Amino acid sequence: MTALQVITIVGARPQFIKAAQLSEALKRAGHEEFLIHTGQHYDLEMSRVFFDELPIPEPDVNLEVGSGPHGWQTAQMLAGIEEILLSQPADYLVVYGDTNSTLAGALAACKLHLPLVHIEAGLRSYNRQMPEEHNRVVTDHLSDLLFCPSHTAVSNLKKEGIVRGVYQVGDLMHDSIVKNLTLAEAHSRILPKLRLEPGQYALVTVHRADITEKRGRLQALFQTFEKIAANGLRVVMPAHPRTSKALQLLGIAPVRLQLLKPVSYLDMLALEKHARVIVTDSGGVQKEAYWLGVPCVTLRTETEWLETVASGWNVLVGCEDHLIIRAVDKACPGKTRRDAFGDGRAAERIVAILSELRGHAARKSTDSQEL
């Protein structure tokens, strides 16, 4: 069998986690991958450490775009990706999730008629104020192959008339949890380093612009975290660079809240696994809490991951002080979970499908698939 030539676009922390699983599966199957890092996440804690810890190959190219306004950032990525695609042969271009890196890769592939693969397709928050929602919707409508993590995602695509090239394969982040949790438990020293006792702390993550760029909301939210800590539950927060910058600009200096620099993937798994409750605005962290059996309080009024809410492991509270405090107080494990996002073998399924469809023929030959 002739090896596939796959170009992969990554740029943000969650994409590194997903790409590590697929890169490993591609390599096992004898296929070749050309990895483009847009540089959307560029500092050590948000980028380099993931390449060190996970089985993701070194990028063949790093565009080093960095941060900036959405339009500028996407344009810089698009120009850089297009230049590479013009000289780099490939059967598929693979993008992940819903970032500006995803959109830039999708646009470049479409303009150059390169079969586009969207992993984590079909997610919808139905909140068009979120830039991620625009990115994922546009990418889905441009894609030739759409790999969905759940039945809900497949149904979302069907509502929009997208039925060709749609596959329900499971979630690559679940693959990663299955493979790396034991490693995290064995090697992470984050709990003793921070003097944390399992089940005796709340883990907080905040990074979305609709919180960090709204002064009043961010200030009120950190006052809420201080109240939770004052009530006797330790509150630990690995701070996203965007959040740290916003806190500094606003002169917010948490007193009881334990603010950390971004942590490695294995350390984050250990922190999540042993938290009493997780408070977050991150989609990926919502899922990880679900898989790890830790109650999650989400600082949004909608989510792409409806299954986590339906199962009772996740509650949506927005940024309302009393709702957050009540949800944290009531959080307790013990609910039943089901395999809503597959069995941890999504990467194998994706590689098998790509191999079967064989590159450029995918655009013409992909059949509709009833799911």
**Among all residues, which ones are annotated catalytic?**
207
Q: Determine the Cα–Cα distance for residues 263 and 190; give it in Å rounded to an integer.
A: 9
CA distance 208 to 227: 22
- Residue 202 to residue 277: CA distance in whole angstroms: 5
Token pair recorded at residue 358: 């064989």
Q: End-to-end CA distance of the chain, in Å? A: 29
- Tell me the torsion sign for CA atoms 322, 325, 330, 332: positive
Maximum Cα–Cα distance across the chain? 62
Q: Are the beta carbons of 239 and 274 closer than 8 angstroms? A: no
Describe the strand order of the beta sheet including 314-316 as a list of residue ranges. 258-260, 234-238, 201-205, 277-280, 296-298, 314-316
Residue with tokens 């590479």: 84
Collapsing DSSP to helix, strand or coil, 246 comes out as helix
Do residues 3 and 31 touch, judged by C-beta distance below 8 A? yes
d(CA 274, CA 289): 10
Count Cα neighbours of 274 within 13 Å in the Cβ-side half-sphere: 21
d(CA 31, CA 41): 27
Cα–Cα dist 326/348, whole Å: 41
Strand partners, 5: 32
Query: With b meaning 16 or more CB within 10 Å and e meaning fewer, what string describes 101-122?
Result: bbbbbbbbbbeeebbbbbbbbb
